[in-house]
Amino acid sequence: MENYWELTLQIIFAFSVLSIVIELALYQIFNMKVWDKFEICVDKLVGSDSVDLKPWISIIICSSVVFKLKLDMIATLFNKDAYISTMLLTGLFLSGGSTTVYEFLKNIRQIRELKLESTKSIINKEE
């Protein structure tokens, strides 16, 4: 069981690093003056600034990386075969970048704290 958690942490860490690397690469593109001009052109074509292409481009690029490299975080975690749906979920995880990694780790911490609190309350009841 200890090996399972070690492997799980390694997988999460590897995908988190990949997610941040892709985010940093996209940051370079999205902060170019050419991108700003492109967004202005799209806004004029659509008639408003309601279209945000950045998340869609991130999802497409991350999913492309996942499918090209045959990466599947979920299948790897559970030692199962890769499926299109789980590879797509992996692509979505990667496309979230550092925000997804932060929220994911924050949720893990909250779960751990709840588990510690419930363990303490059980121990206190036994005393």
**Each residue's pLDDT tens digit, 30-66:** 999 999 899 888 888 887 767 788 888 999 999 999 9
Say which residues have a Cβ less than 8 Å from residue 72's Cβ, sequence separation at least 6: 66, 82, 83, 86, 87, 90
Q: Answer whether residue 2 shows pLDDT above 70.
A: no
CA atoms in the 13 A half-sphere facing the CB of 65: 20
* Residue 11 confidence (pLDDT): 85
pTM given for the model: 0.70
Nearest to 88 by CA among 104, 103, 108, 67: 67
Q: End-to-end alpha-carbon separation of the chain, Å? A: 30
**Each residue's pLDDT tens digit, 80-96:** 898 999 999 999 888 88
**DSSP code per residue over 73-94:** HHHHHTT----HHHHHHHHHHH
Q: Which is higher by pLDDT, 63 or 98?
A: 63
Say which residues have a Cβ less than 8 Å from residue 30's Cβ, sequence separation at least 6: 54
User: 67 and 90 in contact (C-beta within 8 Å)?
Assistant: no
Provide the token pair at 4. Answer: 């399972």
